[in-house]
A and B are shown apart, each in its own frame.
Chain A
Amino acid sequence: MKRVALSIDELRKAVLRLPEGALTAIRAAALANLDEHGLPTVRHEDWKYTNLDAAIDISNRWLSAGATLASKDSLGESIEAIISSVDANWLVIANGQVDMTYFAETRGIEVVRFSESAAPFVMDRPLADLNAALLHDGLRIRIDAATEKPLGLLVIDESNAGAAVSQASVEIVVGPGCDAEIIEHQSSAGKDDHYGNSVVALQVGQAAMVNYVRIQDRHIGHVQTGRLSVSMGKDSRLKMASYDLGGRLVRNDIDIELGEPGSEITFDGLYLVSDGQHIDNHTRVDHRVGPASSSQEYRGILNGRCRAVWNGKAIVHKGADGTDANQANHNLLLSDNAEIDAKPELEIYADDVKCSHGTTVGQLDESALYYLRTRGLDKRQATQLLTHAFAADLIGRAPVAAAVDAIQSLVEARLADLLQEPAS
């Protein structure tokens, strides 16, 4: 297969064309990093199963066509549709541009735009450099008090003029002792190719408690890469659930740092993958001190010619005694052409730890299918019922109550679509 490389020269030109301002120095540094390290290839262990050719191809076409951002004006209706389904206070990044019009000033939430005041943020990570180099703007959010409504972050893109690329970058700091609910929703529309690349950095303060929901329902032909970097304060809690429903090529990286004792995290995920899709979830938890616990369960349903990747890594560093780390991954393969690559990894350098992982790949329980058929359901109905049940558990775990209905209907609709495909 022909390997494509990101055109660094074109990228440099595009970066130089961006308006001078608070982000200029950061863009230059990111570009230099990118120039030196390039984008990851399948030769990198962490990218063994996912090649970025589609993202690079779209980027190159976009760069050579002048690397402009499409106007966000046409997105109004799509934005309205999404934010009206969840009662939250919404910040929007549309076609790579910050849009504050849906956000209501609220006591306890402070929002600053990167273009007004830039400061160091996540870099030195694959694709985070690409994000920083091409950044027009971004959001820095500080939450210092519980608010009535959850905070919504909508990243939405539309591509109707050849290939388009957009970046979203958000930093969220949740103050000490504060409870926060956050919904991150990534979506896209349009007839042409699009590549969206996002970076979210979440800092959870001492004794703070964050409930976080991630919904990704991009257009089935679009490409997304996303990084979420979390650092947990002393005695803090994080509950998170991710739902990956759309996208042609999707790669999520979730990195969580447990650098202070007493933190507790659970993060779960559901991925629904059908014909033509490739969805890759890479998670990494660094247990640097103990006691602390981390627990994750990802579930996937695959139908059609598609591929899913799940790679969960827990690293227990020297001295992180009292660590409790659990990983689980369960997959339902419904068709001949589906492939799952699962890799639960543990790296342990301390001895007072409890770590475990469990992974299964399989089908629906034959005896349950049979039972339902003896109750009068046909095979198709029985299959649908059990597949929904497999997913339902994860829907039930969405930690932000305001988002549950929306997640439910998105997942149900997507599942119905997915099960339409001829299960062979």
Chain B
Amino acid sequence: MLEINNLKSRIGDTEILRGLSLTINAGEVHAIMGPNGSGKSTLAQVIAGHSDYVVTGGEVNYMGNDLLDLEPEERAREGIFLGFQYPVEIPGVNNAYLLKAAVNAKRKHQGLDEVDAFEFLKCAREKMAALGMDSKFLNRGVNEGFSGGEKKRNEILQMAMLEPRLAILDETDSGLDIDALKAVATGVNNLRAADRAIVLVTHYQRLLDYIEPDFVHVLSEGKIVRSGDKTLALKLEEKGYDWVREAASA
């Protein structure tokens, strides 16, 4: 589904990704771990198409096409979803309105009819109930005045509504209490499917107790320095990131 080959990227004058390669197939769950500043979030933003991150080398192939050619909204309509580490507040813009506009933009792209308001609300309410979200959130401004946990649940709700092919969740676990973490994990697990890939970007093993990954990759200084199965995450938790750094420089 996604093939990243020797990807290099910088923000401003700082080089962050320094030749990263990674292959993700449909049906897989990947966890990307690494210390602060290793390039985890950069990878997520480059895949989503943030213009601050300049790609200076390498290629990214998504569903057989060059991903880097596409505008952010085109990538989204092609099924890439980024769950933001810091979801943006958009005052005055109704949460339901944004969600419906996003769903319909994708449907239009797929040649489908727009979803009607009744259908949409029914679907949204069901998914919110599953996430333990009060349906009044639909009528509030996008992330406006939401707590950290509410924002993250809102991201998962959007993901559930948009049914992406490739979902990248950037530090979705940060700042969550245990109940919120479980709710988010349940939301993600419900979306696991044979035709869908999920990438969890995280600093800690904690999330992986609830969402079991098929692969774990460790990022250091803009490269994947180690890949393995879920036991790698446990080992990392035990030995710390210095172990990886040492291993990388050895």
Tell me if chains A and B make direct contact, with any CB pair below 8 A.
Answer: no
**B positions within 8 Å CB-CB of A:** none
